[in-house]
Structure 1
Amino acid sequence: MTDLSSDLLFGANSIATFVGVEPRKIYNWMDRRKAGKSAPPVFDAGGEVCARRSELSTWFTGFRDLSSPDTQSESHGPPET
Protein backbone atom coordinates (compact mmCIF):
# COMPACT_ATOMS: atom_id res chain seq x y z
CA MET A 1 0.00 0.00 0.00
CA THR A 2 1.26 3.48 -0.83
CA ASP A 3 1.54 6.10 1.91
CA LEU A 4 -1.24 8.60 1.14
CA SER A 5 0.85 11.70 1.91
CA SER A 6 3.59 10.64 -0.50
CA ASP A 7 1.07 9.59 -3.17
CA LEU A 8 -0.95 12.83 -3.32
CA LEU A 9 -0.05 15.74 -5.55
CA PHE A 10 -1.57 19.10 -4.57
CA GLY A 11 -2.02 21.86 -7.13
CA ALA A 12 -1.81 22.09 -10.90
CA ASN A 13 1.89 22.99 -10.78
CA SER A 14 2.82 19.85 -8.83
CA ILE A 15 0.73 17.62 -11.08
CA ALA A 16 2.08 19.28 -14.23
CA THR A 17 5.67 18.85 -13.05
CA PHE A 18 5.08 15.17 -12.26
CA VAL A 19 3.48 14.48 -15.66
CA GLY A 20 5.62 16.86 -17.73
CA VAL A 21 2.94 19.20 -19.11
CA GLU A 22 2.00 22.85 -18.66
CA PRO A 23 -0.22 23.60 -15.61
CA ARG A 24 -3.08 24.84 -17.82
CA LYS A 25 -3.35 21.29 -19.22
CA ILE A 26 -4.32 20.04 -15.74
CA TYR A 27 -7.34 22.37 -15.70
CA ASN A 28 -8.27 21.15 -19.18
CA TRP A 29 -8.24 17.59 -17.81
CA MET A 30 -10.51 18.69 -14.94
CA ASP A 31 -12.98 20.15 -17.44
CA ARG A 32 -12.89 16.99 -19.58
CA ARG A 33 -13.55 14.74 -16.57
CA LYS A 34 -16.44 16.96 -15.43
CA ALA A 35 -17.90 16.63 -18.93
CA GLY A 36 -17.68 12.83 -18.68
CA LYS A 37 -14.85 12.54 -21.20
CA SER A 38 -11.71 10.46 -20.89
CA ALA A 39 -8.87 12.31 -19.15
CA PRO A 40 -6.15 11.56 -16.62
CA PRO A 41 -7.43 11.11 -13.04
CA VAL A 42 -7.37 14.55 -11.44
CA PHE A 43 -9.92 15.75 -8.92
CA ASP A 44 -11.05 18.75 -6.89
CA ALA A 45 -10.47 18.51 -3.14
CA GLY A 46 -11.96 21.55 -1.47
CA GLY A 47 -11.04 23.91 -4.29
CA GLU A 48 -7.55 22.47 -4.82
CA VAL A 49 -6.85 20.36 -7.88
CA CYS A 50 -5.23 17.09 -6.79
CA ALA A 51 -4.10 13.77 -8.17
CA ARG A 52 -2.54 10.57 -6.94
CA ARG A 53 0.86 9.68 -8.37
CA SER A 54 -0.12 6.00 -8.44
CA GLU A 55 -3.33 6.65 -10.40
CA LEU A 56 -1.62 8.94 -12.91
CA SER A 57 1.10 6.34 -13.48
CA THR A 58 -1.48 3.60 -13.96
CA TRP A 59 -3.57 5.76 -16.32
CA PHE A 60 -0.61 6.69 -18.53
CA THR A 61 0.69 3.11 -18.53
CA GLY A 62 -2.75 1.95 -19.70
CA PHE A 63 -2.80 4.62 -22.40
CA ARG A 64 0.64 3.54 -23.64
CA ASP A 65 -0.39 -0.14 -23.61
CA LEU A 66 -3.60 0.57 -25.56
CA SER A 67 -1.70 2.69 -28.08
CA SER A 68 0.95 0.08 -28.88
CA PRO A 69 0.83 -1.25 -32.47
CA ASP A 70 0.36 -4.85 -31.37
CA THR A 71 -2.81 -4.01 -29.40
CA GLN A 72 -6.08 -4.73 -31.20
CA SER A 73 -8.19 -2.41 -29.01
CA GLU A 74 -10.48 0.13 -30.65
CA SER A 75 -10.35 2.30 -27.52
CA HIS A 76 -9.29 5.93 -27.69
CA GLY A 77 -7.93 6.04 -24.15
CA PRO A 78 -7.33 3.95 -21.09
CA PRO A 79 -10.19 2.52 -19.09
CA GLU A 80 -11.83 4.91 -16.65
CA THR A 81 -10.93 4.42 -13.00
Structure 2
Amino acid sequence: MLRTDFLFSKAGWLIGAGSVFNLAGNYYSFNSSLSGAEADRKALEADWNMVGLDLEKSLTAYEAELQAAQSKQLSFNFDGR
Protein backbone atom coordinates (compact mmCIF):
# COMPACT_ATOMS: atom_id res chain seq x y z
CA MET A 1 0.00 0.00 0.00
CA LEU A 2 1.23 3.44 -0.80
CA ARG A 3 1.96 5.77 2.06
CA THR A 4 0.35 9.21 1.93
CA ASP A 5 0.44 10.17 5.59
CA PHE A 6 4.16 10.84 6.08
CA LEU A 7 3.56 14.48 7.01
CA PHE A 8 1.15 13.59 9.82
CA SER A 9 1.84 12.49 13.35
CA LYS A 10 1.24 8.82 14.10
CA ALA A 11 0.08 8.80 17.68
CA GLY A 12 -2.25 6.54 19.60
CA TRP A 13 -4.71 7.56 22.25
CA LEU A 14 -2.15 7.15 25.06
CA ILE A 15 0.29 9.55 23.40
CA GLY A 16 -2.58 11.93 22.69
CA ALA A 17 -3.55 11.89 26.36
CA GLY A 18 0.11 12.43 27.38
CA SER A 19 0.40 15.43 25.09
CA VAL A 20 -1.92 17.33 27.44
CA PHE A 21 1.02 17.63 29.85
CA ASN A 22 3.51 18.74 27.18
CA LEU A 23 4.17 22.39 27.97
CA ALA A 24 7.12 22.78 25.58
CA GLY A 25 4.93 22.13 22.54
CA ASN A 26 7.34 19.75 20.79
CA TYR A 27 5.62 16.46 21.54
CA TYR A 28 4.94 15.39 17.94
CA SER A 29 7.25 15.25 14.94
CA PHE A 30 5.18 15.90 11.84
CA ASN A 31 7.69 16.17 9.02
CA SER A 32 10.07 13.32 8.31
CA SER A 33 11.77 15.22 5.48
CA LEU A 34 15.12 16.98 5.63
CA SER A 35 13.84 20.05 3.77
CA GLY A 36 10.68 21.67 2.54
CA ALA A 37 11.59 20.77 -1.04
CA GLU A 38 11.94 17.11 -0.12
CA ALA A 39 8.59 17.19 1.68
CA ASP A 40 6.98 18.73 -1.41
CA ARG A 41 8.55 16.09 -3.64
CA LYS A 42 7.29 13.30 -1.40
CA ALA A 43 3.80 14.80 -1.28
CA LEU A 44 3.64 15.25 -5.07
CA GLU A 45 4.91 11.73 -5.64
CA ALA A 46 2.32 10.31 -3.25
CA ASP A 47 -0.45 12.36 -4.88
CA TRP A 48 0.42 11.18 -8.39
CA ASN A 49 0.72 7.59 -7.18
CA MET A 50 -2.82 7.83 -5.83
CA VAL A 51 -4.02 9.33 -9.14
CA GLY A 52 -2.40 6.39 -10.93
CA LEU A 53 -4.14 3.92 -8.63
CA ASP A 54 -7.48 5.65 -9.23
CA LEU A 55 -6.96 5.46 -13.00
CA GLU A 56 -5.98 1.80 -12.80
CA LYS A 57 -9.06 1.00 -10.72
CA SER A 58 -11.31 2.90 -13.14
CA LEU A 59 -9.85 1.20 -16.20
CA THR A 60 -10.20 -2.23 -14.61
CA ALA A 61 -13.86 -1.54 -13.76
CA TYR A 62 -14.50 -0.20 -17.28
CA GLU A 63 -12.90 -3.26 -18.91
CA ALA A 64 -14.98 -5.59 -16.73
CA GLU A 65 -18.16 -3.67 -17.62
CA LEU A 66 -17.27 -3.71 -21.32
CA GLN A 67 -16.51 -7.43 -21.22
CA ALA A 68 -19.83 -8.14 -19.49
CA ALA A 69 -21.71 -6.11 -22.10
CA GLN A 70 -19.93 -7.92 -24.94
CA SER A 71 -20.66 -11.35 -23.46
CA LYS A 72 -24.37 -10.47 -23.19
CA GLN A 73 -24.34 -9.31 -26.79
CA LEU A 74 -22.58 -12.47 -28.01
CA SER A 75 -24.94 -14.78 -26.15
CA PHE A 76 -27.96 -13.51 -28.09
CA ASN A 77 -29.41 -16.23 -30.31
CA PHE A 78 -29.92 -15.05 -33.88
CA ASP A 79 -31.59 -18.19 -35.31
CA GLY A 80 -35.05 -17.27 -34.03
CA ARG A 81 -35.48 -20.01 -31.46
TM-score clears 0.5: no
Higher relative helix content = 2
Give the structure with higher Rg (CA).
Answer: 2
Q: Report which structure shows greater RCO (CA 8 Å, sep ≥6).
A: 2
Higher relative strand content = 1
Superposition TM-score, scaled by structure 2 size = 0.31
